[in-house]
Amino acid sequence: MIKYRHGGESGRAAAWAWRAAAIALAALVAFFLVRGCAFMPWNSGGRTSLRITVCRDFGREVIRDVRLELKKQPSAMRALQEVAEVETAYGGGFIQAVDGLASKYEGGAQEKVDWFFYVNGQMADVGADAYRVQEGDWLIFDYHSWEYSTFTPFLAACFPEPFLHGYGGPPAASTVIYAPGRESEAGEIAHALQLAGAAPCRLEALTENWEPQPGEYAALVGTFEELEKNTMVREANLHPERLGLFAFFRDGELVITDAQGREARRLSSGAGLVEGLGPRLGDGACALMVSGVDEEGLREALAVLAERRDAAPTPAIVVLAGQGTL
């Protein structure tokens, strides 16, 4: 019987070469389908956009302010290490020094100056190594004294944060709480938040016992005489050291303190204040107080809030009619 070999050895070699090329091509296509598309401009699912601010004395001196993208949801510590030299403590979970600026407190024997970590204006309730960065987060690492108060849990000048990105994710709910007759002013704040990109928020009248619930982000609006009818507002201003407040209302005036909590200045007519009253750390229960000594001061506070963008992350915004932000 005659057997036909159809091209002989060279034909078989060519067939195997084509088969190998086809397998390689299929593998390459599979790679791009599974992994390669992650690098395409229309697919940003593998990246996290964030802002990092390194500063001292509650934002009064900004050392670094960087916007960047990193691999999806890195730890806050890892993000900081991308932009600065970092020394850690307690197993690597807490910050000891940034760019050579180190903690001055050791066993209570030295000065109470340390690094504090904030997320979108709220002090974190975990170390920087334990917090996973969310899309759009603003991470703030501030080096300051805690001689006056152990914690200052809210940086009001981060507005419109934390209403945009919250803590560990966008807020579940946002509310503007208004004193009697201040529904129009509440609408101004809600409009400013909506323009900044926040989800629509509801308006609600202030009651004596109102306080923010876990997961709720709220703004309070009214003159202090109107707001102090609320227990939380009244107690915060009577005991400012408990919340690390460096500005508070007392006897019809706005009192401003220095870093040690000593009275530095008193303001009367035309003085306005934007300040956070969040008493807890990172649980999404906080209130931003927008107030004034009088009607003029309240209008000044509302005006400065509407214009606030990319400001230094200070604990409070104090404004005085005719002089602007102090």
Q: Say if residues 280 and 215 touch (Cβ distance below 8 Å).
A: no
Q: At what angle do helices 183-196 and 295-307 cross, to 10 degrees?
A: 10
Same domain assignment for residues 181 and 284: yes
Q: Say if residues 119 and 135 touch (Cβ distance below 8 Å).
A: no
What is the pLDDT, as a whole number, of residue 9? 44
What's CA 212's distance to the chain center, in Å? 18
| Residue 35 forms part of a structural domain | no
What is the pLDDT, as a whole number, of residue 4? 33
| Residue 200 forms part of a structural domain | yes
> Residue 286 is inside which H or E element, if any?
strand 286-292
What is the pLDDT, as a whole number, of residue 304? 92
Overall number of domains in the chain: 2
What phi, psi does 108 have (nearest 5°)? 80, 0
Domain ranges, residue 234 = 156-325
Q: How far is residue 30's CA from residue 129's CA, in Å, rounded to a whole number?
A: 35
Q: Domain holding 239: CATH number?
A: 3.30.379
Same domain assignment for residues 122 and 170: no
**Is residue 14 very low, low, confident or very high in pLDDT (cuts 50, 70, 90)?**
very low
Residue where one domain finishes, among candidates 145, 177, 201: 145
The number of beta carbons lying within 10 Å of the beta carbon of residue 40 is 9
Same domain assignment for residues 164 and 108: no
Q: Of 80-84, 173-177, 244-248, 304-308, where does mean pLDDT reach its minimum?
A: 304-308
Same domain assignment for residues 122 and 205: no
pTM: 0.83
Same domain assignment for residues 231 and 168: yes
With a cut of 80, say whether residue 38 has pLDDT above it: no
Residue where one domain finishes, among candidates 145, 173, 201: 145
| Residue 36 forms part of a structural domain | no
Same domain assignment for residues 318 and 236: yes
Same domain assignment for residues 132 and 196: no
Same domain assignment for residues 170 and 291: yes
What's CA 53's distance to the chain center, in Å? 10
| Residue 115 forms part of a structural domain | yes
Q: How far is residue 76's CA from residue 103's CA, in Å, rounded to a whole number?
A: 18
What is the pLDDT, as a whole number, of residue 43? 46
Same domain assignment for residues 188 and 269: yes
Residue with the two structure tokens 């005036």: 253
Maximum C-alpha span of the chain: 118
Residue where one domain finishes, among candidates 115, 145, 175: 145
> Residue 302 is inside which H or E element, if any?
helix 295-307
| Residue 23 forms part of a structural domain | no
What is the pLDDT, as a whole number, of residue 5? 37
Q: How far is residue 321's CA from residue 326's CA, in Å, rounded to a whole number?
A: 10
Residues contacting residue 50 through CB under 8 Å, at least 6 positions apart:
67, 68, 69, 70, 79, 133, 135, 136, 137, 138, 139
Per-residue pLDDT of 128-177, as tens digits, reads 999 999 999 999 999 999 989 888 888 999 999 999 999 999 987 789 99
Same domain assignment for residues 58 and 78: yes
Sheet of strand 253-257: strand arrangement: 247-250, 253-257, 263-267
| Residue 237 forms part of a structural domain | yes
Q: How far is residue 65's CA from residue 83's CA, in Å, rounded to a whole number?
A: 9
Looking at the chain, the whole-number percentage of residues with pLDDT higher than 90 is 65
From residue 68, alpha-carbon distances to 65, 74, 137, 164, 213 in Å are 10, 12, 11, 18, 33
Q: How far is residue 13's CA from residue 41's CA, in Å, rounded to a whole number?
A: 41
Per-residue pLDDT of 254-271, as tens digits, reads 999 998 889 999 999 999
Across all residues in the chain, what is the average pLDDT?
85
Output the six-digit token pair for 190: 């809600």
Closest by Cα among 216, 250, 255, 211 to 231: 211
Same domain assignment for residues 173 and 288: yes
Q: How far is residue 189's CA from residue 18's CA, in Å, rounded to a whole number?
A: 68
| Residue 190 forms part of a structural domain | yes
With a cut of 80, say whether residue 15 has pLDDT above it: no
| Residue 3 forms part of a structural domain | no
Per-residue pLDDT of 211-257, as tens digits, reads 888 778 999 999 999 999 999 999 999 999 988 999 999 999 999 99
Same domain assignment for residues 89 and 109: yes
Q: Domain holding 132: CATH number?
A: 2.170.130.30
